């Protein structure tokens, strides 16, 4: 016989997946409803309403894609990219490459610019290059979890609108943890993540998009029995059809909208999870939630710095929900992570590509973003670094973090 699941208790301080809200896990045990049951479609409608609040938008379309976060990015991009379309992607970390990879697979002609890791772009520089390239779409990451940086978007969004460029944003890491203002920042299409600051398990990708994107999508739309209206026929180019069935947002909106046309079988239990996760976020209040994330970030950073460790990356553009720490000279970063997990049950993350072995990444996201977690992570890290003979200031980290907590 196989043993029952027996998962160890963990304190998860990574940039995702983070600890799920207990209420969300309970909601996932709710009995299944049929996907066209009015009791269920009413839940779907409420999820759409709450997503609009989360994204701070009046967009008609806001619903989750069934799949991990990247599925939301892929759905948005594949629904608007026709082969040969120019897409402009400023890259400042690993997830910029993911956007590039998705766009290339759908036949886009991708133009990229890159800046040093640990930095973000000067919006002026992005706008200047964008004018030169003159793309149909500009796609960019808002919160880069690989480097702990956050790109200011409003100026770029405004320039996109002025030049009639579609602006698509990956806010997987930032949504629910730090302000993301879809309408105010002129964002046409955006994807958020569940397993990060929403503290819902991985497996859904909330998206929203406006009528500028809807227009492009509708022009490409193919209903089961052919072209729907004369307008559609007029608008069809050489490559009218969206190259994915699963990610075709025109079909998805017919399922999420009043027509309720069958597409996939909705992931009922995940919708329950997202419903409860969104309720918790909106109950707390967006501003209060952003302030809480900022507060625990400050306590964590104070502790890290009091130990004599260095925070990696430009602090002016730091993503508040991920703190990257430079691994001290001569210290084996993976050995530290292993001891933290084995002895303290604490998980922190390493990084990718050029930053592998150079930094640790500590997340303060959603339900994981709590005082006891921050204090425990600092205590564990200090103890483990002492056992690795790292040259740190001993006995100061928790005091510095407590100072932040007590001054508030
Ligand atoms: C985590 C993350 C993703 C990928 O999410 P998956 O759920 O693994 O598909 C994409 N973009 C950013 C910025 C992320 O932090």
Q: For residue range 157-200, what is the model confidence (pLDDT) as tens digits? A: 999 999 999 999 999 999 999 999 999 999 999 999 999 999 99
User: Is the residue at 200 inside a domain?
Assistant: yes
Q: How far is CA 368 from CA 197, 204, 287, in A?
A: 9, 19, 18
Cα–Cα distance measured from residue 203 to residue 319, given in angstroms and rounded to the nearest whole number: 23
User: Is the residue at 105 inside a domain?
Assistant: yes
156 and 50 belong to one structural domain: yes
User: Which strands form 189-192's sheet, in the order they lie side by side?
Assistant: 61-66, 204-209, 189-192, 166-171, 137-141, 86-91, 109-114
195 and 329 belong to one structural domain: no
262 and 299 belong to one structural domain: no
User: Is the residue at 8 inside a domain?
Assistant: no
Domain that holds residue 394: 286-406
Final residue belonging to a domain, choices 266, 281, 296? 281
94 and 243 belong to one structural domain: yes
Question: What per-residue confidence (pLDDT) applies to 339?
Answer: 98
User: Is the residue at 14 inside a domain?
Assistant: no
Cα-trace Rg, the chain? 22
Q: Probe ligand 1: pick from 12, 70, 71, max atoms within 8 Å of CB?
A: 70
Question: What per-residue confidence (pLDDT) applies to 221?
Answer: 75
197 and 290 belong to one structural domain: no
CATH number for 324: 3.90.1150.10
102 and 45 belong to one structural domain: yes
Contacts of 203 (CB under 8 A, 6+ apart): 66, 67, 68, 194, 195, 267, 270
User: Is the residue at 16 inside a domain?
Assistant: no
Cα-to-centroid distance, 64 and ligand 1 (Å): 15
User: Is the residue at 324 inside a domain?
Assistant: yes
Neighbours of 191 (CB within 10 A): 27
Among residues 166, 142, 264, which one has the least CA distance to residue 217? 166
| Residue numbers of the chain with a pLDDT score lower than 50 | 223-225, 237-238
Among residues 50, 7, 10, which one has the least CA distance to residue 368? 10
- Average pLDDT of the chain? 95
Q: With beta carbons less than 8 A apart as the criterion, state whether 16 and 195 touch.
A: yes
Question: DSSP code of 317?
Answer: G
299 and 277 belong to one structural domain: no
Q: With beta carbons less than 8 A apart as the criterion, state whether 252 and 263 touch.
A: yes
Question: DSSP code of 229?
Answer: S
> Hey, which residues does 140 pair with through a beta bridge?
169
Cα-to-centroid distance, 388 and ligand 1 (Å): 32
Final residue belonging to a domain, choices 281, 315, 334? 281
Cα–Cα distance measured from residue 358 to residue 327, given in angstroms and rounded to the nearest whole number: 6
Cα-to-centroid distance, 195 and ligand 1 (Å): 9
292 and 393 belong to one structural domain: yes
CA-nearest residue for atom 5, ligand 1, is 69
CATH number for 65: 3.40.640.10
What domain count does the chain have? 2
Q: With beta carbons less than 8 A apart as the criterion, state whether 79 and 217 touch.
A: yes
Contacts of 201 (CB under 8 A, 6+ apart): 17, 20, 24, 28, 194, 195, 270, 273
90 and 230 belong to one structural domain: yes
> Hey, which residues does 322 pair with through a beta bridge?
363
Kindly list the protein residues whose Cβ atom lies closer than 6 A to any atom of ligand 1.
16, 68-70, 95, 141, 143, 145, 170, 172-173, 193, 202
Cα–Cα distance measured from residue 57 to residue 48, given in angstroms and rounded to the nearest whole number: 11
Question: What per-residue confidence (pLDDT) applies to 247?
Answer: 97
361 labelled binding-site residue: yes
User: Is the residue at 182 inside a domain?
Assistant: yes
The atom number, within ligand 1, closest to the CA of 195 reads 7
Neighbours of 22 (CB within 10 A): 11
223 and 101 belong to one structural domain: yes
223 and 307 belong to one structural domain: no
75 and 163 belong to one structural domain: yes
Final residue belonging to a domain, choices 281, 315, 346? 281
The atom number, within ligand 1, closest to the CA of 145 reads 15
Cα–Cα distance measured from residue 201 to residue 182, given in angstroms and rounded to the nearest whole number: 24
Question: What per-residue confidence (pLDDT) applies to 15?
Answer: 98
User: Is the residue at 365 inside a domain?
Assistant: yes
Element (H, E) at 185: none
The atom number, within ligand 1, closest to the CA of 70 reads 9
């Amino acid at each position: 016989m196989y043993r029952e699941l027996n998962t160890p208790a963990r304190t998860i301080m990574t940039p995702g997946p983070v600890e799920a809200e207990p209420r969300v896990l309970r909601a996932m045990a709710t009995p299944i409803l049929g996907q066209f049951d009015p009791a269920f479609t009413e839940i779907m409608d409420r999820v759409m309403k709450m997503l609009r609040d989360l994204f701070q938008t009046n967009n008609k379309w806001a619903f989750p894609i069934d799949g991990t976060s990247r599925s939301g990015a892929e759905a948005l991009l594949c629904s608007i990219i026709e082969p040969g379309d120019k897409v402009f992607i400023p890259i400042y970390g690993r997830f910029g490459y993911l956007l590039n990879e998705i766009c290339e697979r759908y036949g886009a002609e991708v133009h990229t610019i890159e800046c040093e890791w640990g930095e973000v772009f000067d919006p002026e520089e992005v706008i200047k290059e964008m004018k030169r390239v003159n793309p149909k779409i500009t796609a960019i990451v808002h919160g880069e979890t690989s480097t702990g940086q956050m790109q200011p978007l409003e100026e770029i969004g405004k320039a996109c609108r002025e030049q009639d460029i579609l602006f698509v944003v990956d806010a997987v890491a930032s949504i629910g943890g730090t302000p993301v203002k879809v309408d105010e920042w002129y964002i046409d299409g955006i994807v958020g993540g569940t397993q990060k600051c929403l503290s819902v398990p991985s497996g859904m990708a909330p998206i929203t998009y406006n009528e500028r994107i809807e227009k492009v999508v509708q022009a490409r739309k193919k209903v089961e029995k052919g072209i729907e209206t004369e307008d559609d026929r007029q608008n069809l180019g050489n490559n009218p059809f969206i190259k994915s069935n699963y990610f075709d947002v025109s079909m998805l909106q017919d399922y999420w909208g009043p027509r309720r046309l069958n597409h996939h079988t909705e992931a009922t239990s995940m919708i329950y999870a997202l419903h409860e996760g969104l309720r918790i976020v909106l109950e707390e209040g967006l501003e209060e939630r952003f302030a809480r994330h900022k507060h625990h970030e400050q306590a964590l950073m104070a502790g890290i710095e009091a130990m004599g460790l260095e925070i990696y990356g430009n602090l002016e553009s730091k993503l508040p929900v991920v703190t990257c720490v430079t691994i001290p000279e001569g210290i084996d970063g993976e050995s530290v992570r292993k001891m933290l997990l084995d002895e303290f049950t604490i998980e922190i993350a390493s990084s990718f590509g050029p930053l592998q072995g150079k930094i640790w990444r500590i997340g303060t996201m959603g339900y994981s973003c709590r005082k006891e977690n921050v204090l425990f992570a600092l205590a564990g890290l200090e103890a483990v670094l002492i056992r690795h003979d790292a040259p740190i200031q001993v006995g100061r980290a928790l005091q510095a973090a407590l100072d932040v907590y007590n001054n508030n």
